[in-house]
């Protein structure tokens, strides 16, 4: 059984067949074929070049068929077989993977996905709203007060900044208690069931301790950065905490894996219910086409439960209508730093944001 992986390679036309064959070998047996005595390995394990397409911009799309048997059931090994050594070639980008049924079943994808998040929040149709707790350097109490403001404004989700970890000025356990309490106070004012999403960091032991603390605080959402924590750790965490919805942060995502694949398909595949990514026109250089493709991958109905696209990265309230028209309502709008500019008027600004999303008339 094989599955198709597409790489984009910047090279001369004269070299492309050798490059394609090189990738097929590198991502499978990683040795000269002349040294392989076993016919079954040659037939069933060595990668096969299925197609080479000239993209007419100095780049070729190379489609390789890899053996599913080399992956096993570990998500880290999946990434290893997709791009491990080939990532060391500067002129190659991992462009796409046709995830086969067997691996879809092995890894499982989101446990909740978009519909279950809608039910939890009591938001059947409109897009979701979110903001982020920052800057780091604040004490847990200060972050808790900030969380309260966002919740009073009626936002759906308030996440930790991904830089908040387990620092001396704001230890994880103190922070999560203070922020959960702040959200609870805000919810009592607003009546809206705002969810707090703590960012989990560290090794698998530490991630589990933090997820258990989240559970003890009555939370049902957490955030992880799969490229920092490791795909295998996220896979284990998703299995261990069936009550938690997982939000994926793209930190360290600048591996030369096409973002619509890494964030839209692969983060979803290993069980993330919602995927944060840099929206076009913000602080990062993703194109509108890339963002459209990423969101389409996250919600592709043919790949099991859909994950929630969360465009972010320097967003502002005045872009609400444009973002909603671009992504549609199965989306969470995440505005972080720009809400914080309101300083003592944060709850009001959050409320204005919540209202803009609720009142939006799709064109």
Scanning residues 50 to 69, which ones bind a second copy (CB under 8 A)?
67, 69
Place of tokens 């894996």: 257
- Least distance (Å) between residue 173 CB and a second copy: 13
Q: Which residues, numbered 68-97, are part of the site for a second copy (CB under 8 A)?
A: 69-74, 76-77, 79-81, 83-92
Among 144, 186, 198, 230, binds a second copy (CB under 8 A): 230
Contact between 39 and a second copy by CB under 8 A: the answer reads no
Contact between 363 and a second copy by CB under 8 A: the answer reads no
Q: Of 173, 167, 197, 172, nearest to 183 (Cα)?
A: 197
Among 21, 48, 104, 232, binds a second copy (CB under 8 A): 232
Among 10, 21, 44, 217, binds a second copy (CB under 8 A): 44
Contact between 304 and a second copy by CB under 8 A: the answer reads no
Q: Of 305, 299, 294, nearest to 250 (Cα)?
A: 294
Residues 204 and 172: beta-carbon distance below 8 Å? no
Among 12, 35, 122, 125, binds a second copy (CB under 8 A): 35
Q: How far apart are CA 120 and CA 57, in angstroms?
A: 47
Q: Which residues, numbered 116-145, are part of the site for a second copy (CB under 8 A)?
A: 134-138, 142
Contact between 236 and a second copy by CB under 8 A: the answer reads yes
Q: Which residues, numbered 262-281, are part of the site for a second copy (CB under 8 A)?
A: 278
Among 12, 14, 38, 57, binds a second copy (CB under 8 A): 38
- Least distance (Å) between residue 350 CB and a second copy: 13
Two tokens, residue 279: 């929206």
CB atoms within 10 A of CB 44: 14
In the stretch 185-214, what mask flags binding to a second copy with x, by CB under 8 A? Answer: ----------------xxxxxx--------
Contact between 161 and a second copy by CB under 8 A: the answer reads yes
Nearer to a second copy, 117 or 241 (CB): 241
Contact between 258 and a second copy by CB under 8 A: the answer reads no
Nearer to a second copy, 134 or 192 (CB): 134
Q: How far apart are CA 157 and CA 17, in angstroms?
A: 49
Q: How far apart are CA 286 and CA 263, in angstroms?
A: 12
Q: How far apart are CA 65 and CA 85, in angstroms?
A: 17
Cα separation values, 54 from 24, 116, 230, 273, Å: 18, 42, 34, 36
- Least distance (Å) between residue 245 CB and a second copy: 20
Residues 260 and 288: beta-carbon distance below 8 Å? no
- Least distance (Å) between residue 124 CB and a second copy: 32
For Cα atoms 58, 62, 65, give the angle at the middle one, nearest 5 degrees. 175
- Least distance (Å) between residue 24 CB and a second copy: 13
Residues 329 and 126: beta-carbon distance below 8 Å? yes
Q: How far apart are CA 117 and CA 152, in angstroms?
A: 20
């Amino acid at each position: 059984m094989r599955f198709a992986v597409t790489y984009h390679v910047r090279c001369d036309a004269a070299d492309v067949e050798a490059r394609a064959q090189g990738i097929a070998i590198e991502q499978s047996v990683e040795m000269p074929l002349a040294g392989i005595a076993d016919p079954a390995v040659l037939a069933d394990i060595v990668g096969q070049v299925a197609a080479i397409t000239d993209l007419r911009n100095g780049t070729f799309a190379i489609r390789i068929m890899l053996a599913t048997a080399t992956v096993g059931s570990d998500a880290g090994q999946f990434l290893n077989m997709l791009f491990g050594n080939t990532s060391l070639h500067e002129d190659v980008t991992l462009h796409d993977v046709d995830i086969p049924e067997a691996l879809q079943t092995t890894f499982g994808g989101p446990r909740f996905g978009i519909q279950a998040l809608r039910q939890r929040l009591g938001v059947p149709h409109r897009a979701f709203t979110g903001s982020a707790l920052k800057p780091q350097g604040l004490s847990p109490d200060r972050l808790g007060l900030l969380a309260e403001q966002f919740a009073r404004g009626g936002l759906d989700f308030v996440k930790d900044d991904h830089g908040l970890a387990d620092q001396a000025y704001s230890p994880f356990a103190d922070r999560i208690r203070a922020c959960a309490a702040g959200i609870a106070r805000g919810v009592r004012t607003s009546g809206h069931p705002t969810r707090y999403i703590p960012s989990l960091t560290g090794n698998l032991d530490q991630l589990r301790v933090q997820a258990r603390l989240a559970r003890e605080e009555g939370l049902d959402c957490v955030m992880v950065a799969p490229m920092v924590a490791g795909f295998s750790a996220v896979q284990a965490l998703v299995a261990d905490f069936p009550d938690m919805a997982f939000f994926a942060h793209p930190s360290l995502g600048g591996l030369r894996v096409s973002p619509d694949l890494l964030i839209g398909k692969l983060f979803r595949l290993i069980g993330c219910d919602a995927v944060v990514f840099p929206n076009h026109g913000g602080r990062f250089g993703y194109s509108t086409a890339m963002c459209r493709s990423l969101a389409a991958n996250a919600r592709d109905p043919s790949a099991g439960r859909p994950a929630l696209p969360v465009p972010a990265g320097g967003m502002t309230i005045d872009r609400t209508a444009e973002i909603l028209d671009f992504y549609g309502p199965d989306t969470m709008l995440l505005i972080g730093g720009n809400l914080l500019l309101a300083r003592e008027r944060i709850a009001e600004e959050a409320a204005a944001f919540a209202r803009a999303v609720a009142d939006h008339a799709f064109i």
